[in-house]
Amino acid sequence: MKSKNVILASALLISVATFAQKDQLKAAEKALKKGNIQEVDSQLNQAESLISGASDAEKAQYYFLRKTVYMDAVDKNIEVDKNLSLAAKASLEVVAVEKKAGKLEYTNEVLKTISKVKDRLINGAIADSKEEKFKEGASKLYDAYLLDKKDTLNLYYAASFELNGKDYDRALINLQELRKLGFTGKSKNFVATSVISDKEEPFATKEERDRMVKLKTHIKPRIEVVESKQGEIYKNIALILIQQKKNDEAKKVIAEARELNPKDASLAVTEANLYLESKDFVTYKKLVSDILAKNPNDADLLFNLGVVSNNAKNKAEAQEYYLKAIEVNPKYINAYVNLVALKLEAETPINAEMNKLGTSDKDNKRYAVLKEEKKKIYQSVIPYLVKALEIDPKNNDIGTTLMSVYGALEMSAEKKALKAKLGK
């Protein structure tokens, strides 16, 4: 008899809890109709601990009311980011519960909220990017993706924000998800120029754009092709894996990327860099030879190989690539800048040795030798700095460096003329 009483008591407790929960949801509904949002929130808080055992209809009702409370806070500018995220999660719960139950009482209303929340999240992320608040912006974009997983572009931008914010662990998760989804980002945008603003405007479809052109509100229709982002995604995955010392995994990703994008030279350079990092110089040399055989006059490729070689402390090879890049494109400003930086690096050990020298005759003789070596370094960079400044006359860094070199070489007339030219 005792065990039966215990079972009966438990059943009574469950029944009482269910009635309490229903009463609280009803009370919350009534409060909502009266516009008393605080009372809605209070009733939902009381029902929260019991909702896991509720029916699907009650769960849908609960999350719908929760969504309403969060959106009210958003409309009142109360902790907007937090409440938008909570409204998004509550909305998704409604959709999931009603889809499972096969009864759509709140879904249509919630879908309108989802669209509104999505727009607010994206606009918020754009505002965050202007203030370089990449972590906050990435979170908003990811929430926007969860609201509409068909719109994978938001996941791509979330990963991009995370890369900009140096949140590499989180970026890797999202990049791997994009890889799994087969995301390319390749698309065609239909644009035309407004006769009122004289600015190009995008259209959802070709038909819509053509209709506006016929109405003569827009002119100069064209198709803007957005190239595939797949190579970039794979490359970023590989770079993060390299940073995490997972070189073997990175090699597999890059190999897969190259199969998908055989014409992407930047992927080939990344692959070569991988083998260089793992000190497989034989494979590295082979890959570089293959790359150059296909693109001997690609200045960007030559420049990138220079960067790779410089990172590997192979200064002579880096200099060779930078010079080849300049030979192919005499106006390749970055090649001049990197070449000058590489040459000036040779000054560091010379300065270190000079600082250690004493005042003995032997030390003074050595000092004179080192001073002459520094002079040769400075003289060697002048032609590249002068050329770089011709290409980009407003580049203050180049101008300042050249002025410092003139000063070190006691070329007073040249320094004075350059100072006047730069307005310093």
Q: What is the pLDDT of residue 26?
A: 57
**Sign, CA torsion 7/8/9/13:** positive
User: What confidence tens digit (pLDDT) does each residue in 367-407 have?
Assistant: 999 999 999 999 999 999 999 999 999 898 999 999 999 99
User: What CATH fold (topology level) applies to the domain 2-173?
Assistant: 1.25.40
What gap in Å lies between CA 366 and CA 395, rounded to an integer?
A: 37
The Cα 318–Cα 303 span in angstroms is 9
Quick one: how far is CA 244 from the chain centroid? 18
Helix intervals (H) in 185-280: 206-214, 230-243, 247-260, 265-277
Per-residue model confidence (pLDDT) at position 328: 95
Region 64-88 average pLDDT: 82
Sequence-distant (6+) residues with CB within 8 A of 215 are none
Residue 333 predicted with pLDDT over 90: yes
Which pLDDT does position 11 carry in this prediction? 42
Long-range contacts, 175-179 (Cβ 8 Å, 24+) = 175/233, 175/236, 175/237, 175/240, 176/237, 178/152, 178/233, 179/233, 179/234, 179/237, 179/253
Report which residue type is found at 417. A
Q: At what angle do helices 347-356 and 361-391 cross, to 10 degrees?
A: 150
Could you tell me the strand order of the sheet in which 218-226 lies?
Answer: 200-203, 187-194, 218-226
Domain spans of the chain?
2-173, 187-226, 230-295
Look at residue 165 and give its three-state secondary structure: coil
d(CA 31, CA 170): 41
User: Considering the domain 230-295, what is its CATH architecture?
Assistant: Alpha Horseshoe (1.25)
pLDDT at 65: 80
What's the CA gap between 380 and 247, in Å, rounded? 38
**Fold equal for 2-173 and 230-295:** yes
Residue recorded with tokens 């595939």? 228
User: Nearest to residue 192, comparing CAs of 175, 174, 171, 214?
Assistant: 214
pLDDT tens sequence across 190-215 = 899 999 999 988 887 889 999 999 99
* Rounded CA separation 52/251 (Å): 46
